[in-house]
Copies of this chain bind each other. A is one copy, B any other.
Amino acid sequence: MVFTEILGYSAGAVTTLTFLPQVIKTWKERSAKDVSLWMFIIAATNEVMWIGYGMLKNDWVIILTNAVVLAMSLTMIYLKLRYK
C-alpha cells in the first residue's frame, strides 16, 4: 500500500509537469499556430470532471494533480488565444 501511494503521488507529480514544456515554449516563442485550442478546452473541462471524481472517491492524488493541470490548461487557452 505504501508503494502504491508513492507511485500514485509520483505519477501525480509528473502529471502536473505535462503541460509545462508547452506553456514555456509558447510563452518564449510567442507562437501557437500549430497548437490545438480544442486539446486544452477538452483538457480543462476534463480536469473539472476528474476533480469531481477525486472528491467523490476521496482520492487526493486525483484532486490535487488535476487542479494543477486545470491551471496549466487555462494558461494554455489564454496563450493560444493571445498568440494564435
Contact = CB atoms under 8 A, between A and B. Distances in A.
B18 A56 contact: no
Interface string A1-43: 0011001101100110111111011100101111111110011
Nearest to A6: B53
A49 interface: yes
Interface residues of A, number: 38
Interface of A: 3-4, 7-8, 10-11, 14-15, 17-22, 24-26, 29, 31-39, 42-43, 45-46, 49-50, 52-53, 56-57, 61
22 contacts: A7-B49, A8-B57, A11-B49, A11-B50, A11-B52, A14-B42, A14-B45, A14-B46, A15-B46, A19-B39, A20-B39, A21-B36, A21-B38, A21-B39, A21-B42, A22-B35, A25-B34, A25-B36, A26-B34, A26-B36, A31-B34, A53-B61
